[in-house]
Chain A
């Protein structure tokens, strides 16, 4: 029964490996197999590749500023050394190692990617001598230096391979010596980095050694620049490195882009666009953004979630075969098997529906951006500050039915002229940038509004009063705003007279309102929306944000949830005595405090189990039955131990300790 090893290697018998099964076979052999699954899988791969390259491009673009300034710093930091070395301040500088501290934010999982691209950029633009050191690679000094040397030599000096081996051995014996060799070999420019600041010991050792040994003259020979990756704040450097070391660093801070902005850009370019046909439903989007905001701030994970939704969509939704760009989708209506479409729906009809859907999306995103221009500057952001919040709300239901929307309109009616004009200008830009035909006159209309506001300026003398009042409002807070709203209501009731500006403003507001009502219909009102929208939020959450503890708890407390046997049905908090042994043992142990007496436990267990068994079998002799029950108890207890509910303890004989709190 006991095996002597934990690992078993299985190699297929034949020498020449069979060409592995193409992946799409797994796709089509799943539950929802149909003829077009191959096509669906190809579409998935195509869209995913496009999305992936788009995200990579975005990442590059967003990092560009940071990298540029870093490169500039690296290039200037050492050139300054030789220029004015007689100078006193130059002297000071000579003793210091130029260091860049790169604040990367708490989204640790994204750092890898950023640093990798940074290494690449540096290698291309500054110097080939770049070593990237990660905490996980360097558990001790030996590995640290080894990595330092090896990665240097591999790239640049292939001919010294034999030497390198020696030196690695040397390093193990004598770190001191290797430092000499380091400085002797590399007269060049050096960059190191080290994310997450976990390398503290190694780094400080390294620095101390180096600095002790090579005084000023070595810095000439061995121009070194450090780049630290930091998650939180630069104070960490001072905390981790002894003062003697940190005083020798000349640190300059660089701040990377905040991950929230990154997310906004990603959403903007991947989802709020007609470029990619695939869309997320409200719940799915909520779950993905929530995982991002509440769990890890990781763009990588967000993209992973997106990939999974895409895969799930194509895997489980047969109609997803139409989830591609419009001309292709139209063409594909040919392939559609009969059972997908009922008899009443003809090909031409489908095509026109697809076209409508496309137009709907084009308009949708334009109007959404336009609305966002209006709402994102309002006090208190009733419809959210980020466009993703607004988008979520619009996806969920008719936005104009919500109370928040009503309050937005109220606030818009209070805007001052210049604010309103700025918003209109922005909207105008949004519409201009697109080439949608239907909304062409909308841009014109906005232009007209702008012109009318302009002309108001010329005749403004008449209505000084009201305008100055509304201008005064622009910097106030909610309280004053609401108060003035009240006042104005009263004012209006007493004197009905409206200024020209007010009339115009009213027109603008109702114009925006009409746009919203016409174009921001929730997607589920559109025919064929299910081809593009992935809505199974539950699946996503199950696979990305699982709750194993709750699953265990449910399985132990309510076996009926999994085993649909009527005998197991029970009211909440109770379990029937015919339940699986482990459930009974678990239930009993919940009644105990920190320590559990095994004898008591086993007796209680026996009581329950005997009662359950009495009903079906009475044939076996009692002694034998007792033994079997005891064996079952032992099994249940060892299983609970494996699951981490109890552990053996030496506090008292024949006791186990509970590891969870409370009972239910």
Chain B
């Protein structure tokens, strides 16, 4: 066993001064894979190379345990045979390395590059002049392989923070430091630096593109010429520096454009759905084939579930349809519960409740633990009971908590409860420690489907809600509409008509008053909201309410729908605030007036 030997060799003490760089180098070598190590391997029989050993030999006990190299080798061994595990990539460091600083325009550039990649008759994109600046053709060829190096090499460029003037100063040290470094920096690069400075005054936008393009051209041959070892060394030291760089300042360089200016941003769930239904699905043949592969496993899953394992599905794409097909083909004659983990109102309690519902239990339990114990006993008593649990998104917001996982785990560890679940989140496996994993007794199955997470994402409205954490216009209308009794009838009619029916006049009036007051005060930085008494006064004057109780009832309803927020001021008075962007409120009022 070579690795044992090597390890032991390594343990021999040899005191010697080692510089930081050598240490890094050393670490890299070890990462470098088994080959480099093998060369250094000495065998016992090789008596030529006797190294002086310390008297106190290390205790052998721990020698056995950590044979990292060996481990990595074994795990990496069957890369070729692995057709399905997605392990084509080599090693984890490539997957999610440290963060480093990125240039803000990089994305746009990559986009234009990507737009070109198929190489078939691509003309300049007229829609977006900012992006389609001539990128040297040669950069395209090796862009993929050099990209990572590029990022590391021209990091000083990323230093350039907002003020453009700074860049001038920053570029010079970069080329300077390059010439100091081991690989030769060409003269032309220095010249370019000057050229860049010159150009800068003329056109900033074009410049930034050009710098990148030029750097790409320059850096590529340089990288190739250097021996790989030096490159590596360079790379790590940069990696470290960049990591700290990226984390040192809180300032992030991005453009200030906002979605508000784009009219398209205002999509609600329904229109989104309608729009997406127009998209013709691509690669349907391949997707179908992929799905068929998974479906062939259904019988195996059933078998393994019955033998005491539980099954977890992972991989890109919604696994909802797959599980649904599994349910319809295999579980028709069995008692089963489908749990939509992505549903925002889901909780362990509701899962347990449906289990007790299956067992025909009437009555309530004092706590979740009592309920769990009751279920456990019930299932242990009656071995003929069988229950299938299908959980979509076991890793959802609501279920990922430690306690929830513990309880679901305990459920799944029961012999006659069979659990088949799907996970999607990148870090989902972190939910489970060893104890929980042994409760779950998972068998992992990769089921990459590339299906869209339509149902899963329909609850969070992500892009629409997230920008400011407040309600967007469409939701505002939606919510207000839902307050009226006749709202449901108008649901499927067009938007115009819906607007006519927003709220009962009184409700609407009350709300509009509040909006107006808030907009009047939008320039006042210390505005904390409208005090309740004032508001009541205004409402009375407008004949909207006749008592302070009616107003309060109205406000409660608003508050329940998160349309307003109340805050106690320092003087103990209640202040009312609409937690919505002022811009949206203005839009809302405009629309409102149009309709009326």
Contacts and interface: CB of A to CB of B under 8 A. Distances in A.
Contacts of B339: 6-8
Interface string A623-664: 000111011101101110111110010111111101111111
B435 A604 contact: no
B283 interface: yes
A653 B253 contact: no
Interface string A110-146: 0010000000000000000000000011010001000
Interface string B340-363: 110101100011011001100000
A325 interface: no
Nearest to B367: A143
Interface stretch (A222-230, A270-278, A328-336, A547-555): A547-555
Contacts of A10: 327, 331, 335-338
Contact of A6 (B45, B144, B286, B341): B341
A177 interface: no
B13 interface: no
A567 B286 CA distance: 12
B44 A407 contact: yes
A411 interface: yes
Given A7-B338, A634-B272, A598 B467 contact: yes
Interface in B237-276: 246, 252-262, 264-265, 267, 269, 271-273, 275-276
Contacts of A486: 47
Contact of B428 (A315, A404, A548): A548
B60 A385 contact: yes
The 3 closest A-B pairs by CB, nearest first: A648-B466, A611-B115, A6-B346
Interface string A306-350: 011001000100000000000000000000000000000000000
A580 B318 CA distance: 14
A238 B205 CA distance: 65
A635 B47 contact: no
A654 B276 contact: no
B547 interface: no
A315 B301 CA distance: 12
A551 B299 contact: no
A34 to B, nearest CB: 14
Contacts of B47: 482-483, 485-486
A8 B351 CA distance: 9
A387 to B, nearest CB: 12
Contacts of A538: 78, 81-82, 85
Contact of B117 (A307, A542, A574, A589): A574
A607 B441 contact: no
B117 A663 contact: no
Given A542-B84, A588-B110, A611 B426 contact: no
Contacts of A557: 89
Given A478-B53, A577-B117, A595-B254, A551 B467 contact: no
B128 A407 contact: no
Interface stretch (A285-293, A365-373, A502-510, A520-528): A285-293
B163 interface: no
Contacts of A234: none
A571 B1 contact: no
Contact of A552 (B315, B337, B403, B434): B315
B252 A595 contact: yes
A300 B441 CA distance: 10
B96 interface: yes
B87 interface: yes
A662 B337 contact: no
Given A20-B386, A595-B252, 6 more contacts: A10-B331, A283-B74, A311-B304, A553-B96, A555-B316, A661-B100
A420 interface: no
A594 B246 contact: yes
Interface string A601-623: 11111011011100100000000
A650 B470 CA distance: 10
A561 interface: yes
Given A411-B44, A552-B426, A627-B275, A604 B111 contact: yes
B495 interface: no
B254 A30 contact: no
B145 interface: yes
A648 B428 CA distance: 19
A1 interface: yes
B443 A544 contact: yes
Given A7-B350, A610-B125, A661-B96, A551 B462 contact: no
Contact of B316 (A11, A551, A630): A551
A189 B375 CA distance: 31
A204 B282 CA distance: 63
A639 B434 contact: no
Contact of A554 (B89, B120, B128, B433): B89
B5 A382 contact: yes
Nearest to B65: A293
Contact of B466 (A383, A403, A567, A656): A656
Contacts of A384: 1, 4, 64
Interface residues of A, number: 161
Contacts of B115: 577, 607-608, 610-612
Nearest to B285: A565
B166 interface: no
A12 B334 contact: yes
Given A546-B446, A635-B272, A638-B457, A604 B406 contact: no
A626 to B, nearest CB: 7
B269 to A, nearest CB: 8
A650 B433 CA distance: 32
A109 B438 contact: yes
B335 A11 contact: yes
B468 A650 contact: yes
B118 interface: yes
B122 interface: yes
A304 B326 CA distance: 25
B71 interface: yes
Given A1-B458, A283-B74, A631-B275, A563 B118 contact: no
A84 to B, nearest CB: 43
Contacts of B460: 638, 641-642
A262 to B, nearest CB: 15
5 contacts: A8-B339, A23-B307, A31-B296, A386-B64, A594-B252
A108 interface: yes
B282 A580 contact: yes
A477 interface: yes
Contact of B1 (A383, A558, A562, A604): A383
A456 B375 CA distance: 74
A397 to B, nearest CB: 12
A3 B342 CA distance: 11
B143 interface: yes
A298 B101 CA distance: 42
A588 B78 contact: no
A158 interface: no
Contacts of A550: 85-87, 89, 92, 95
Given A404-B5, A555-B448, A588-B107, A7 B64 contact: no
Contacts of A385: 60, 64
A29 B299 contact: yes
B88 interface: yes
Contacts of A627: 264, 275
A632 B457 CA distance: 13
Contacts of B346: 6-7
A597 interface: yes
A479 B435 CA distance: 45
Interface string B106-143: 11111110111110101001011001000000000001
Most chain B CB neighbours (cut-off 10 Å) among A5, A558, A576 = A5
B581 to A, nearest CB: 9
A304 to B, nearest CB: 7
A74 B423 CA distance: 47
A160 interface: no
B343 A603 contact: no
A205 to B, nearest CB: 18
